[in-house]
Amino acid sequence: MTFVEKDIFVTQAICQVLEQAGVDLVLGMPGGDIMRVFDALYDYQDTIRTLLVREESLAAIMAEVYGRTTGRPAVVMAQGAWVLANAGMGTLEALTGGSPMVILTDLSDKIPYSHHSPTQTGTGHYGNWDALQTFRGFMKEVMVAYDPAQAVQMTQLAIKHAVSGCPGPVGVVYFGGALKGKVGPSSKLNLYKTSGYLFSDQRSADPMATAQAAQVLANAKKPVIISGGGVRVGQASRALTALAETLSAPVVTTSGGKGSFNESHPLAGGAFNEYGLDAAAKLLGESDVVLAVGTRLAPGDTIRQHPGLIDPKRQTLIQIDIEPRHVGWSFPVEHGLIGDAVSVLRDLGERLAGHKPPAGVDGVARVKAAAESEGFFDVKESVSDEMPILPQRLIRDLRQALPDDAIVACDAGENRIFMLHHYRTKAVGGFVQPSSTGGMGYAIPSALGLKLAFPDRAAVAICGDGGFAMTMNGLMSSLELNLPIVVLVLNNGMLGWVQHVQGNRQIASSLGDYNYAAIAKAMGCEAVTLEKPADIVPTIKKAVASGKTTVIDVIISRTESWEKVRCKLGL
């Protein structure tokens, strides 16, 4: 278990830790003392991709979606002050959404002058900023390394904690001295191989609790499964689908779970929340047994704990989560199954092997009935030829135009709400959005992260003109890193959600009239302005087939608002 047989430079050792842990992606921007680690990565390019992005916020969002969709952490690496100032959104999304991520950064301490407030220093002395205190506010765990051997071991522990239990972003902040000198057999702190710190957390739930839950599910008359964001991170979609088919149970998703279950499946009821499908709300509200997997059942999804969705007084709740604190967090549960989602779902499936649903239990028929009575993904606006283009029509045609395995990344704002409600995924993993924090500017870097994780699948960013402007520098990274994506800009010249909420008291919500296609062309992208509904499908198909980064500037209606996609229970 000895780390190395002879002394090596500490920065080499940090790279070896990443390599030993199977971490193959570093995203960021060199600067300050962290430059020393970048220099060491030069010799590890065969096993670790080290990519420069145009700004630290891109790195954090790319790493967040990479971790969320693969279950493996990527590294965000940049100078401390700019991790704080620029990388916050992706890190917050990882923290609140449970995505594994490792942040390696520095204090730029400039010792022995740190107490005299040198530029950028984060030691917390008078006149400086306090790295440890601030990072603790938006990371799962933060460690500060003062010594080279400590820097190595803390890097190992950061990877461990990023993927253990409920995943999240874990940071290591290095003092400048921790990145100088050598480590090895002579180090006072004994160093061991990284494998000794890592383990696969595939624990099953208590067998008796699992057996009891399986019996409840077997006897359910109207079971419903909720698929949350943890199903995606835990790579549990296949196991969940198998159990749903065994039980003939409709599957509805939280906003973060949308994409964790194929919405083209006959048991798919769509997403439920304040802006979800009325059909999904009906299916969940009428159920007698609810199996919630990988979700805390947060107020945003349950419409502030609306009893028309979930009510422990009339429903039996079963909850699966790897984090004990999540089970029974928002609602009391009769059966809490604490363990890895894949393992627990498989255990339930084995106990229900050969199970035939009781007479009258037909999940497919229930989904059809709910869709017919409450409406489903498509509405009358979905076939409208109105100009400017209605978002519902754009979304219907987008689905028709994209290949089955395409992945769509949304931004914040009304564009995301319309997509959550009307876009029907055609494959597992086909939809990603900033559901945990909802920050604008997410779509483009998210699509880049998806392209890194799944290079053979089409990655499409859907954003409003407000969100596009925030991270359009990601188009440069797309070209420079050879990560071709398609970007649809829903251009209505305003912050749509804000302005529609403001009504006739509009302030600070109007945007200028810009030609986003021309801007994209100036960067070197393919680009086109889309104005006619009849052109939607051929334009998107051409963009995807080109294999080039393409921006489609869609002139969209200003009149359609969030109120049209609001769940009846949310009114």
Q: How far is CA 228 from CA 236, 272, 371, in A?
A: 10, 11, 21
Backbone angles phi, psi at 398, to 5 degrees: -60, -45
Same domain as 431, residue 501: yes
Residue 2 lies in a domain: no
Q: Point out the domain boundary residue: 149, 173, 196.
A: 196
* Structural domain includes residue 407: yes
| DSSP string computed for 178-212 | GGSSEESTT-SS--B-GGGT-----PPPPHHHHHH
pLDDT in tens, 525-560: 999 999 999 999 999 999 999 999 999 999 999 999
Same domain, 248 and 264: yes
Q: Is residue 3 part of a domain?
A: no
Contact (CB, 8 A) for 152 and 3? yes
Q: How many CB atoms lie within 10 A of CB 522?
A: 10
Whether residue 202 lies inside any domain: the answer is no
Q: Does an H or E element contain 344, and which?
A: helix 341-351
CATH code, domain carrying 319? 3.40.50.1220
521 and 458 in one domain?
Answer: yes
Peptide bond into 112 cis (omega under 30): yes
Cis ω for the linkage preceding 388 (within 30 of 0): yes
Residues 458, 485, single domain; the answer is: yes
We report the CATH number of the domain holding residue 189 as: 3.40.50.970
Among 296, 365, 299, smallest CA distance to 327 is for 296
Number of domains in the chain: 3
CB atoms within 10 A of CB 266: 12
**Predicted pLDDT of residue 202:** 85
Instruction: Give the whole-angstrom CA distance, residue 342 versus residue 136.
Output: 31
Whether residue 1 is contained in a domain is answered as: no
280 in the same domain as 317: yes
For residue 234, being part of any structural domain is answered with: yes
- Tell me the HSE value of 355 on the side-chain side, using a 13 A CA sphere: 24
Do 336 and 429 fall within a single domain? no
Q: Which two tokens stand for residue 464?
A: 């409003």
Backbone angles phi, psi at 225, to 5 degrees: -105, 130
Same-domain status, 274 and 334: yes
User: 130 pairs with which residues across the strands?
Assistant: 123
- Rounded to whole angstroms, the Cα distance separating 241 from 263 reads 11
Same structural domain, 37 and 56: yes
In a domain, 201, yes or no: no
Q: Which domain holds residue 86?
A: 8-196
Is the same domain home to 369 and 390? no
- Domain end (from 332, 352, 374): 374
First to last CA, the chain: 60
Same domain membership, residue 231 and residue 101:
no
Q: Considering the domain boundaries, does residue 433 fall inside one?
A: yes
Residue at which a domain ends, from 335, 352, 374: 374
Same domain, 282 and 370: yes
Co-location of 471 and 414 in the same domain? yes
Sign of CA dihedral 47, 12, 191, 131: negative
At 304, list the tokens: 């502030």
**Which among 442, 451, 495 is positioned nearest to 471, based on CA atoms?**
442
Phi-psi sector, 132: left (phi>0), alpha (psi -120 to 50), beta: alpha
Question: Residues of the chain whose pLDDT is less than 50?
Answer: none
Sheet of 25-28, strands arranged across: 49-52, 25-28, 74-77, 101-106, 169-174, 141-145
pLDDT digits (tens, 9 = 90+) for 64-123: 999 999 999 999 999 999 999 999 999 999 999 999 999 999 999 999 999 999 999 999
Residue 5's pLDDT is 86
Burial (CB count <10 Å: 0-12, 13-18, 19+), residue 547: exposed
**What's this model's pTM, rounded to 2 decimal places?**
0.96
